[in-house]
Structure 1
Amino acid sequence: MYVRLYSFLSLSERHELLQQTETLQGSFVSSITSTGAEDYRRSTVLYDTAAWRVLMEQKIRPLLFFIFDSLGLPSFEPEEFELQLTSHSEGGFYLWHTDNGTDNVKRRRLTFVYYFWNEPKSFAGGNLEIQTETGVEKIEPINNSIVFFDSGLLHQVTLVQATTERQSHLRMTLNGWLRD
C-alpha cells in the first residue's frame, strides 16, 4: 500500500533542484547498501542534501496525519528526516529490500520517494515495486510526484534503460526516511 501526491514541488523549487542536480553531477558517488551487498544496487547518490532536507521536511510535516491515516500506520513524531539524492542511469536498479532491515536503519518508519527530471523523459523502466499481501504493486515514476510507504515493506527499483547521461534527464529521486 502506498500514497502518491502529484505536483509536489512548485515550478521554481523543481527548477532549482534540477539546476543544482546538473551543477553537482560530478559530486555523486556510487551507491551502497546498509548490508554491504555487492551487485544489489546500481545507482549514484549525493548524501549532502541539507538544503533539500529542510524543504522536504517543511512540505511533508503538515501532511503526516493524512499520510499515516491513508497508510493505516500509527502516527509518530519524527525525530529525524533522512534524505539522499539518487540518480539511476542506464542499467540502474535496486533489488528487493526493506528500508529498515538492519540495525543502523531499524528506526526508519516511513519511506518517501520524490521523482523529478527534465523533460523530455530520457529513460524507461525504473518502476518502484512494492510487495503487498495481495501481490506486487507496480508504481511508474511520474515527474514531480512523491510516493510514501511503510519502510518495512519489501520493495525494489526495476532496471532502468536510459538514452542520455545528462544527470537532470535521468531517473532522479529524493529518497527519504522518517525515523522515530
Structure 2
Amino acid sequence: MNITTSFAASTRPFPYHVVPNFLGNDWVERLLAYAVEHQSSFVASGLGYRANARLDPSVRISSTLRNFGALRAELESLFRAAMPQAVSELRLSPFELSTCEIELVAHGDGAFFKRHIDTITQADDPDIKNHRVLTGVYYFHSVPKCFSGGQLRMHALVPQEQGGGFIDIEPERDQLVLFPAWAPHEVLPVSCPSQAFEHARFAINCWYRRPRP
C-alpha cells in the first residue's frame, strides 16, 4: 500500500456492523419500563473511566445507569452472542472475551457526545486488567418516537477539517450497531421538545473486553 492509498483509506469512516431487530419488542418494553422505574438512579455521564471520570458538559451531556439488576445476566448473554459475527464482518483479529462492560444511557433534550474513542489506557486506569476491543450500541425508545437527532456519527481516522469523511447512523428502535472500540465517533445533538425522561433516546453501550497482554 503506497502513501496515497494509505491516506485515502484513512479519510474513509471506520466500518460498522448493524443488527436490526436485535432483542425484539418485549425486551424493548422491559428496558423502557426499567429505565423509567430507575430514573432517579441515573447520574450525569462523565468522561474518562470510573473513578477517574470527570464531568465536562462542553463535551458530553447525558445520564447513565450501570445497574441492570436481574436483567444483567440475560442481557450480557445476548450481547455476547452477537460478537462472533461482528468480529468476522469487521475483519477484526479473533480475541478471547474476558468480560462485557455495559451501561444504560439516556440522551434527553440537548444531549450530545462530541468526537471520541472508547479505548481505555493505563493512564485512565492504572489497574486495568483488560482492554476494550469492540463497541456495541443498542438503541431503543418509546413509540411514537418523541425526539429527533441523536445520530451516531462514525468518523474517519483523519479529522473532518483535514479531509476526513463521516457517515451518520440513525438510532433505530431495537437496533444494535457494532464497531471497533478505537474508531472515532460521536452522538449528534438530540432534540426532545417534551423534555420527558421516558421520551429520551435510550441506548445500551456494551464494550467487549479482552485480557491485558
Unaligned runs of 5+ in 1: none
User: Is it true that 1:63 corresponds to 2:77 in the alignment?
Assistant: no
* Equivalent residues of 1:53, 1:82 under 8 A apart: no
Contact 1:3 1:149 in 2 (8 A): yes
Compute the TM-score of the two structures, normalised by the length of structure 2: 0.78
Q: 2:79·2:206 contact (CA, 8 Å) conserved in 1?
A: no
Aligned residue in 2 for 1:130: 154
Is residue 2 from structure 1 mapped to residue 16 from structure 2 by the alignment?
Answer: yes
Aligned to 1:48: 67
Q: Which has the higher strand share?
A: 1
Matches within 5 A, 1:1-180: 1-34=15-48, 36=54, 38=56, 39-103=58-122, 104=125, 107-132=131-156, 135-180=165-210
- TM-score, structure 1 length as denominator? 0.92
Structure-2 change in CA distance of 1:3 and 1:50 (3 Å):
farther
Q: Distance in 1 between matches of 2:72 and 2:179?
A: 18
> Aligned-residue CA RMSD in angstroms?
1.8
Q: 3-state DSSP class of the match of 1:113?
A: strand
Distance 1:16 1:119 in 2: 14
Mean alpha-carbon deviation: is it higher for 101-110 or for 154-163? 101-110
Misfit runs of 4+, over 4 Å? none
Deviations 1:5-54 (A, max 9, x none): 11111222221111111111111111101063622110001011254442
Change (3 A) 1:42 1:94: same
| Contact persistence 2:45–2:55 (CA under 8 A) | no
Indicate the structure (1 or 2) with the bigger Cα radius of gyration.
Answer: 2
Asked if the contact 2:22/2:176 (under 8 Å) is kept, the reply is yes
Contact persistence 2:80–2:100 (CA under 8 A): no
The total of aligned residue pairs comes to: 180
Classify 1:83/1:143 alpha carbon distance in 2 versus 1 (closer, same or farther; 3 Å). Answer: same
